[in-house]
Amino acid sequence: MLSRLIWTLKALVRRDWKTAREAMISGMAPLFLHNKYLVLDDITNGLFSWKLPAGDYLEFGVYRGRSFISAYKLTTAKNLNMHYYAFDSFEGLPDFQDLDKVYENFESGQYACSQDEFSNILADAGVDQKQVTLVPGFFDVSLTSDTVKALPIKRAAIAWVDCDLYLSTVPVLEYLTPLLTTGSFLVFDDWYSFGGDPKAGELAATNDWLEKNPDISLLEYRKFGVSGMVFLVQRT
């Protein structure tokens, strides 16, 4: 708690008054102190300070919207003009296959939150849903070339990957490949969920993806929470 308070004070020192005041007034104080909010504060400060190319916010696996709402609050407070895409089955985790079967950290259907419930949570948090697009479906079905063509995304400024499983992360990274450029932030919420096993989860899927795409490299930006990792994308 002390470390979170220190981070909050640092945010206030940076004079992010609008976000701090909005968080307190809207009852978002717990969100304001959460590690996902804090890491997104760093990321959005980077986008603002470094004048990186414009892009959108894409989140894969939104559950009840804590990181999604955090991203919205911070980017709008810093006048970062972007659209917000929420990709989720809205039915929880899929059935386990292959590499994911041997682990007991997760179970099918876990993290289910219906589309209507998610939209209501966003509304209660004051998110302008005209700036939000929901993309429902399990990723191996929803993230197709047709999806790429249908959504007007030219670049991902921030891609937040909260897929937990290898099975779910593979299609996400394939989908993101043309949307990531040098300076894009690629965030993995569950990078260490399997104890850092390079043959499991998001870490394994990323290793396979990087091997297939040698023009992409990831520069470690910072760790967060128990399992999270943020990278800056580099492309040659």
**CA dist 149 to 24, 140, 141, 161, 171, Å?**
40, 16, 15, 21, 16
Predicted confidence pLDDT, tens digits, the chain (236 residues): 344 444 455 555 555 555 454 444 444 444 555 678 889 999 999 999 998 889 999 999 998 888 999 999 999 989 999 999 999 988 756 566 665 555 556 565 566 788 888 999 999 889 999 999 999 998 988 998 888 789 999 999 999 999 878 888 999 999 999 999 999 999 999 999 888 888 888 999 999 999 999 999 999 999 998 899 999 999 99
Give residue 96's pLDDT.
Answer: 61
Q: What are phi and psi of 176, to 5 degrees?
A: -75, -20
Give residue 5's pLDDT.
Answer: 45
Question: If we measure between CA atoms, which residue out of 138, 223, 158, 233 comes closest to residue 189?
Answer: 223
CATH class of the structural domain 33-235: alpha beta
Q: What are phi and psi of 109, to 5 degrees?
A: 85, -10
Give residue 16's pLDDT.
Answer: 52
Instruction: Check if the beta carbon of residue 61 is closer than 8 Å to that of residue 87.
Output: yes
DSSP state of 12: H
**Residue 1 Cα to chain centre, angstroms:** 23
Give residue 1's pLDDT.
Answer: 39
Question: The whole model's pTM is what?
Answer: 0.82
Instruction: Check if the beta carbon of residue 48 is closer than 8 Å to that of residue 145.
Output: no
Question: If we measure between CA atoms, which residue out of 53, 90, 85, 91 comes closest to residue 71?
Answer: 85
Collapsed DSSP state (helix, strand, coil) of residue 59: strand
The structural domains of the chain, with segments of one domain joined by +, span 33-235
The DSSP bridge partners found for residue 187 are 160, 230
Give residue 24's pLDDT.
Answer: 43
**58/148 Cα distance (integer angstroms):** 13
Question: If we measure between CA atoms, which residue out of 154, 235, 186 comes closest to residue 43?
Answer: 186
Give residue 169's pLDDT.
Answer: 94
Give residue 98's pLDDT.
Answer: 60
Long-range contacts of 89-97, Cβ-Cβ distance < 8 Å, separation of 24 or more: 89/136, 89/137, 89/138, 89/139, 89/142, 90/114, 90/115, 90/118, 90/136, 91/138, 93/164, 93/165, 93/168, 94/138, 94/140, 94/165, 94/167, 94/168, 96/165, 96/167, 97/167
DSSP state of 53: P
**138/154 Cα distance (integer angstroms):** 22
Give residue 74's pLDDT.
Answer: 92
Instruction: Tell me the per-residue pLDDT of 32-88, one tens digit each, with 9 for 90 and over.
Output: 556 788 899 999 999 999 988 899 999 999 988 889 999 999 999 899 999 999 999
